[in-house]
Amino acid sequence: MKLRAKFIVVLVIFLVIAVLGVSAQTKWASGVRIVFFPGGPQGGVFAVNVYNGAKQAEYDLGCKVNYVWSDWDPQKMIQQFREVVATRPDGIAVMGHPGDEAFDALIDDAVSKGIIVTSQNTQLPKAQAKYLTQGFGYVGADLYQAGHDLGMEAIKRFNLKRGDRAMVWGLLSQPTRGLRTKGVTDALKESGLTVDNLEIDAATNKDPVAGTPTFAGYVSSHPDV
């Protein structure tokens, strides 16, 4: 029980350092093995920042960390999680993009094998509620509120008014992760704007440059945006 408690503490501190950049530099977790999902493609603009934070945590705590790159693909994350569980690490830090419905049975299996699971960037609220006392936490924003705040700030900064048109290019179809897109959309609609929702496709999700034709095409056909 004491050993499991140590693993939980290590995973929590690891996530805090990885995401918030807090320094520890004690290397007291040298016997702990963690698998960490940065989320996107290796070298991707956002994912590499997550990775750099995790590498700092790995250095500070002295734990052994394996990194799994997923191209922001929820199905790929699910398959990779299955493969990771088979290696029996002490802990797994996942991105919650697939959502509770897709993830929870796999998390149940991992926990039953003594693996501590936690999430970052996108919440898994049902899994977190179920395993909160067993180390399942969350490091990241309230996605809906973050999106809503973004929408309200955009209205303020660009002096948008009722009847104006706005494009929201996001991931509305994805469970939980899409809450940020929904928050932006709701804020704009609440203020009377006409909102066009465009779904980010898989290619653009992996590499933002791939979305350039979509963006250019929309803007050229909507001069009032």
| pLDDT tens track for 88-120 | 999 999 999 999 999 999 999 999 999 999 999
pLDDT at residue 25 above 80? no
Task: Work out the average pLDDT over 16-42.
Answer: 76
* pLDDT at position 206: 87
Mean pLDDT, the chain, rounded, equals: 90
The pLDDT confidence band at residue 16, using thresholds 50, 70 and 90, is: low
Report the share of the chain in percent with pLDDT over 70: 88
pLDDT, average across residues 36-42: 95
Q: Which CATH architecture has domain 2-139?
A: 3-Layer(aba) Sandwich (3.40)
- CB-based contact 99:74 (threshold 8 Å): yes
Which CATH superfamily groups domain 143-221?
Response regulator (3.40.50.2300)
Nearest CA to 61 out of 23, 117, 115 is that of 23
Whether 195 has a pLDDT exceeding 70, the answer reads yes
- pLDDT given for residue 10 in this prediction: 52
Q: Each residue of 122-178: pLDDT tens digit?
A: 999 999 999 999 999 999 999 999 999 999 999 999 999 999 999 999 999 998 999
Task: In whole angstroms, give the CA distance from residue 62 to residue 3.
Answer: 16
- Asked, colleague to colleague, whether 2-139 and 143-221 share their fold, the answer is yes
pLDDT-based confidence at residue 2 (cuts at 50, 70, 90): very low
pLDDT value at residue 175: 84
> Which pLDDT belongs to residue 20?
47
The two three-digit tokens of residue 119, written as one number: 């999430």
Radius of gyration, CA atoms only, the chain: 19
Domain ranges for the chain: 2-139, 143-221
Instruction: Give 29's pLDDT tier (boundaries 50, 70, 90).
Output: confident
Is the pTM higher than 0.85?
Answer: no
Question: Which H or E run contains 12?
Answer: helix 2-20
What's the whole-number mean pLDDT along residues 5-32? Answer: 60
